[in-house]
Amino acid sequence: MPSLAKIYIALIASVATATLAAAAYQWKPENLGRFVLFFALAMVASAMKIRLPGLKTTISASFVFILIGIALFSFGETVLIGLGGALVQSLWRSLQRPKPVQVFFNGACLTVCTAAAFWAAHVVPALVGSGSAAAMMAVGASVYVLLNTSLVSLVVALAERYPLRQVWPSCYEWTFPYFLVGAGVAGLASAAGHGNNWQMTLLVAPVMYFVYVYYRMHIMRAVLENVSNASRENEAALASASQGR
DSSP 8-state symbol, 99: P
Q: What is the CATH number of domain 3-243?
A: 1.10.1760.20
Q: pLDDT tens digit string along 179-207?
A: 778 777 777 777 666 655 666 677 777 77
> What's the CA dihedral at 66, 68, 70, 75 to 10 degrees?
-70
* pLDDT surpassing 90 at residue 75: yes
| Each residue's pLDDT tens digit, 35-60 | 898 899 889 888 888 777 666 677 78
What is the pLDDT averaged over residues 66-94? 89
Identify the sign of the CA torsion 34, 35, 39, 45.
Answer: positive
Distances (CA, A) of 64 to 43, 67, 210: 11, 5, 13
Torsion of CA 104, 107, 110, 112, to 10 degrees: -70
